[in-house]
Amino acid sequence: MAAASVSRVAMAALPEPVFQSSADTMAPLVPSSGRPYNPVVTLNGWTLPWRMNQGVKEFHLVAEPVVREMAPGFKAHLWGYNGQSPGPTIEVVEGDRVRIFVTNKLPEHTSIHWHGQRLPSGMDGVAGLNQPAIQPGKTFVYEFVARRPGTFMYHPHADEMTQMAMGMMGFWITHPKTKHPLIDEVQRDFCFLLSSYDIEPGAATPKVAEMTNFNLWAWNSRVFPGIDSLNVRLNDKVRIRIGNLTMTNHPMHLHGHEFLVTGTDGGPTPKSTRLYEVTTDVAVGQMRQIEFLADEEGDWAFHCHKSHHTMNAMGHDVPTMIGVDHRGIAKKINNLIPDYMVMGERGMADMTEMEMPIPDNTLPMMTGEGPFGSVEMGGMFSVLKVRRDQKPGDYKNPGWYKNPPGTVAYEYTGPMAEPARFKAEGGQSMPRKEKSTSDTVVKVKKPSSHSGH
């Protein structure tokens, strides 16, 4: 009797969960209650609406299996929150009291850890240590005050290997309540999480036991060419917040501009620590927020600098064939094995042109048509688009940059000069040991065939 009445009260108090079915980048959610702030834009994501309940911001997260379109033509069966992986971004203001209802619709228990937050130990979300795990079908309540402004994330702390490999994660932003000496106002504020998956070509569900050999490198569970561009107005001050929930580091590289690292998940960085850079490494479990003045018009690549992270599945286990003339071989082998494909005798770029047959629900390894041809990218790659005529607050993709005449690299068609080759060998600080005059002889002993093995 008592238990029934308690649960009825709890049900009545539960805010209605909001779900998202689209992987499009949603417009920033301008706060309708509470202190005002400049909302963020979650790349290919959205911000979770809240309910004000007697001064408390109430959110409702539902942990559940989801279908995430990782790029057009490729859908993955992941786990996430409220219809998507990653889950919705949570945006609050420093000093807000926040109550988060978490309903578990997964086939196994879960919990949520609020990465980087100052909160009571019992709200930190490590299942078994800080709380009992949330069993399937149950709803738990987390409540704390968002004490520090900054860039944070949330993710399960129960069967983490499976649940994070399946895409369970989300962004959390605590905006400063008043002007903060180390937090500048910006016109555009983007955020995304780095995640990686191992989904066999033709399959849809990640292999969760994978430790190192991931084949999909994602921003917000999207891969190039499925990652939306970051569209800004010329001379906007831009902030990009990045969190890394993969199992390796990602040197994030921006073209055309220098940026400062203005914050980590530890909070805003002291000004004395800020260096102008064009690449910043985001290590495992870290968050970085970068800021720059977008004062160069154009289309600027923004990507992870590990070249294997800007390609999609099938990029591994491919032998290097550069310099090997195997023309004609493919055709001969094709008579024996119909789908056989020889890869890249002049480099891998051939592969984008070959349009090799790939299984259904699989992305090409390198793809993406730009205004001048194939971009030959995949994975963690997008474009910062800086435009003079982009309206304030307009996040629409303006299309390709129209380069002013005379500002595009072009082909030289004049006479070729005689090559002048430099003759000298490189110097050496110390002489090498005299080479031995006799060749090294390697004797190979064949295993005897009658060893009984």
Q: Which residues bind Cu ion (CB under 5 A)?
A: 250, 304, 306, 309
SS (H, E, C) 342-401: CCCCCCCHHHHHHCCCCCCCCCCCCEEEECCEEEEECECEEEEEEECCCCCCCCCCCCCC
Please report how close the Cβ of residue 170 comes to Cu ion at its closest, in angstroms. Answer: 20
Whether residue 88 has a cis bond before it, omega within 30° of 0: no
C-beta closer to Cu ion: residue 134 or 193: 193
Question: In this structure, are residues 233 and 391 in contact, taking their beta carbons and an 8 Å threshold?
Answer: yes
Please report how close the Cβ of residue 440 comes to Cu ion at its closest, in angstroms. Answer: 41
C-beta closer to Cu ion: residue 146 or 363: 363
Tokens found for residue 28: 């920033």
C-beta closer to Cu ion: residue 304 or 351: 304
What is the DSSP secondary structure assignment for residue 220, as one 8-state letter?
T
Tokens found for residue 188: 């555009």
C-beta closer to Cu ion: residue 251 or 344: 251
Give the count of beta carbons closer than 10 Å to the beta carbon of residue 383. Answer: 25
Please report how close the Cβ of residue 245 comes to Cu ion at its closest, in angstroms. Answer: 12
Question: In this structure, are residues 82 and 18 in contact, taking their beta carbons and an 8 Å threshold?
Answer: yes
H-only helix segments in 111-264? 160-165
Could you write out the DSSP letters of every residue in 82-109? TTBSSPPBEEEETT-EEEEEEEE-SSS-
Please report how close the Cβ of residue 211 comes to Cu ion at its closest, in angstroms. Answer: 16
In the block, residue with structure tokens 């409540």: 143
C-beta closer to Cu ion: residue 61 or 313: 313
C-beta closer to Cu ion: residue 99 or 288: 288
C-beta closer to Cu ion: residue 249 or 264: 249
Residues 6 or more apart whose Cβ sits within 8 Å of residue 446: none
Please report how close the Cβ of residue 242 comes to Cu ion at its closest, in angstroms. Answer: 11
Please report how close the Cβ of residue 252 comes to Cu ion at its closest, in angstroms. Answer: 8
Residues 6 or more apart whose Cβ sits within 8 Å of residue 405: none
Tokens found for residue 384: 């910062």
Rounded-to-integer distance, Cα 444 and Cα 453, Å: 19
Please report how close the Cβ of residue 159 comes to Cu ion at its closest, in angstroms. Answer: 25
C-beta closer to Cu ion: residue 127 or 282: 282
In the block, residue with structure tokens 């090498």: 432
Question: In this structure, are residues 250 and 304 in contact, taking their beta carbons and an 8 Å threshold?
Answer: yes
Please report how close the Cβ of residue 266 comes to Cu ion at its closest, in angstroms. Answer: 22
